[in-house]
Homo-oligomer: A and B are copies of this chain.
Amino acid sequence: MPTIGCVQAFQQKALEMSAATPAPEEALPRIRKTATRLADGRELLYFDDRNFAADRRNSIDRRRLPPQAASSIRRFDRLLGEWVTIARHRQTRTYLPPDTECPLCPSTPSRPTEIPAEDYDVVVFENRFPSFSSATSPGETTLPEEAHPFFASDVGRGRCEVVCFTADHSASFSSLSLQRVRTVVEVWVDRTRELSRLEGVEQVFCFENRGREIGVTLSHPHGQIYAYPFVTPRTERMLENARRYHREVGGNLFADNLAAELASGRRIIATNEHWVAFVPYAARWPLEVHLYPRRRVPDLPELSEAERGALAHLYRDVLRRMEALYSEELPYIASWHQAPVRRDRDLAYLHAEIFSIRRAPGKLKYLAGSESAMGAFVSDVLPDEVAARLRDVDGSTP
């Protein structure tokens, strides 16, 4: 694992960039990155933008924590050709604590949390209940695996990080300032770059689960990053189709799909110089928006400064539009599809897929037999109509 210094080349670059870009809100904010360790050895990184001068190095985690969980295992499903991960220690993870016991709020003298500092801007730390980790010994807590060739397994090596977007417990991603969204983009870039360098990591996945309805156990605004030791099944399938398309038709499947959506225009909901947001033609979810850069890049670190700035605008805009459709808090999953770390980087096309299971006020879409058992999605709404609604709402305020 690469060592992370307290004041970095990264920050130096930030200082340089902020002078070069024109629109001050979109400009790369000054970010100070500070690395520390929690009581059980997990890494924690402060990304300070508001309190740029703050020195977080002296905030020490004084909790007595049990040792880090043993690693997970992964088993290969021969029938579907997919890895399934088993992380037993997650069964006892923190579950819907009251707001006064939120582990993602800053620490106070009387209540230490996961974040030792008494304030923070954006903070990233290794998940205490990780699906993947750098622990290498699953032996203590699991049965010995079987030797039969049908039963292939491996250690669930990788890394799972939590990204707290703000110290404000009651905020949401869509209520963040544009500058903070820009910082979060830079954090995704930094983490994708760093985690891609870890031994055995094949794909880095930045995402946000929001809402109790989809199982979120902590309401503090936060996202997650999974560094998988394999290329995920949905990415594998998209790449297979992109490979076949390139061979049979020529061109890039994702790029041609984006061009087709732009040419049609029916499902486009918002665009700017560098990004396009649309409801896909064959959307699976009652609310689903895909966000593509106009220029194909494999992953977030490959975005230019201008593209990152423009992303902050449109990403927040899309979330606000989606949330404006219902008066209830919107449960959603926001997911970044990035190229595998080591292959198919010429085929993949970085994009975000943001979707919700809300299908009507008070009603949710559930994945029942057809979806869960057969993979055959049945939607109750026409994507073109959803796009029209999202186009018409105001994305300028949270």
Contact = CB atoms under 8 A, between A and B. Distances in A.
A169 interface: no
A241 B78 CA distance: 8
Chain A interface mostly helix, strand, loop or mixed? mixed
Nearest to A334: B369
Q: How many copies make up the complex?
A: 2
A19 interface: no
A284 interface: yes
Contact of A90 (B375, B378, B384): B378
Contacts of A381: 86, 88, 91
Interface in A171-216: 205, 207-209, 214-216
Contacts of A142: 382
A20 interface: no
Given A260-B148, A335-B374, A368 B216 contact: yes
A232 B375 CA distance: 6
Nearest to A260: B150
B146 A264 contact: yes
A80 B237 contact: yes
A369 B264 contact: no
A298 to B, nearest CB: 16
Contacts of A353: 373
A206 to B, nearest CB: 9
A380 B78 contact: no
A224 interface: yes
B234 A368 contact: no
A76 B282 contact: yes
Interface in A236-285: 237-238, 240-242, 245, 253-254, 256-257, 260, 263-264, 266, 280-284
6 contacts: A78-B253, A131-B378, A215-B364, A228-B374, A234-B374, A335-B373
Interface of A: 72, 75-88, 90-91, 95, 131, 142-143, 146, 148, 150-151, 205, 207-209, 214-216, 224, 226, 228, 230, 232-235, 237-238, 240-242, 245, 253-254, 256-257, 260, 263-264, 266, 280-284, 333, 335, 337, 353, 355, 359-360, 363-370, 372-384
